């Protein structure tokens, strides 16, 4: 049997976008998916949708939590797969063969698999590729340049994953990814578009706080003066991209 992949979806009152995620996981051709849905006690149609897709969901819970990353920690603790990844409400696999393509050839063998991300609008239409392109070679040191790989296009072996640090309310995914990469021995660029990411997530709606938290995480891991100098380059790169594309 193929290795088990735990796909975790965290949702709260996002029934408007959840069904596309549920469909995407259900339609994957990969044969050994453990699908976990963590709902924060939604009051919209979220629970009805979860129940309607129950045959393709391995386990789900609905209860109040302390925020996004607390809910994601619940998913981590429930996961029993050898590898895990997150697709939250509105996010999708880019196509139904993604996991088959990732876990072929030398697999299993790497601790981390990563790839590119397509940005989607609220209607599920493609906007364009993510502004930051995944580097050919990725390590924790690479992340001094920011979140170079989208969280939804990052698949990690469970035994290298720590819990999300709840000290960070907006950028705990950046800290988590860095810790995974520090623990990883083998890191593979799949050269695939792994996920479609719903535009307008938590970071975008809290941009100033997200940037401040990321700066704190950088200072914790890198040389202070190098981080400060590098921010001028990041700022310039961001400004050029925004001028060309008119989006973050």
Query: Which pLDDT tens digit goes with each residue over 22-31?
Result: 999 999 999 9
Q: Whole domain around residue 11: which residue ranges?
A: 5-201
- When divided into structural domains, the chain yields a total of 1
How far does Cα 10 stand from its chain's mean position?
Answer: 11
> What's the CATH code of the domain at 168?
3.90.550.10
Domain presence at residue 214? no
Task: Please give the model's pTM, rounded to 2 decimal places.
Answer: 0.90
21-77, pLDDT tens digit by residue? 999 999 999 999 999 999 999 999 999 999 999 999 999 999 999 999 999 999 999
80-96 confidence digits (pLDDT tens) = 999 999 999 999 999 99
Residue 186 lies inside a defined structural domain of this protein: yes
* Residue 248, in any domain of the structure: no
In a domain, 231, yes or no: no
User: CA 15 → CA 47, 99, 143, 147, distances in Å?
Assistant: 8, 25, 33, 27
pLDDT for the residue 229: 73
Residue 210 lies in a domain: no
Asked whether residue 57 is assigned to any structural domain, the reply reads yes
Distance CA 84, CA 80 (A): 9
Say if 170 falls within a structural domain.
yes
Kindly state whether residue 206 falls inside one of the protein's structural domains: no
């Amino acid at each position: 049997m193929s290795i088990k992949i735990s796909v975790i979806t965290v949702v709260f009152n996002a029934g408007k976008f959840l069904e596309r995620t549920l469909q995407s996981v259900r339609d994957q051709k990969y044969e050994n998916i453990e699908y976990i849905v963590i709902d924060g006690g939604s009051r919209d149609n979220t629970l009805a949708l979860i129940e309607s897709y129950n045959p393709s969901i391995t386990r789900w819970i609905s209860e109040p939590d302390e925020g996004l990353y607390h809910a994601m920690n619940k998913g981590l603790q429930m996961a029993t797969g050898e590898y895990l990844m997150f697709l939250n409400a509105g996010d999708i696999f880019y196509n139904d063969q993604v996991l088959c393509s990732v876990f072929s050839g030398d697999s299993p063998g790497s601790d981390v698999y990563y790839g590119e991300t397509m940005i989607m609008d609220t209607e599920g239409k493609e906007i364009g590729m993510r502004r930051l392109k995944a580097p050919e070679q990725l390590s924790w040191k690479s992340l001094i340049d920011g979140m170079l790989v989208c969280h939804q296009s990052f698949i990690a072996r469970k035994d290298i994953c720590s819990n999300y640090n709840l000290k960070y309310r907006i950028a705990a995914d950046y800290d988590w990814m860095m810790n995974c990469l520090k623990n990883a021995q083998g890191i593979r660029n799949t050269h695939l578009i792994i996920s479609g990411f719903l535009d307008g997530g938590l970071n975008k709606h809290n941009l100033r706080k997200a940037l401040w938290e990321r700066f704190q995480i950088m200072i914790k891991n890198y040389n202070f003066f190098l981080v400060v100098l590098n921010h001028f380059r990041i700022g310039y790169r961001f400004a050029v991209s925004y001028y060309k594309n008119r989006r973050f």
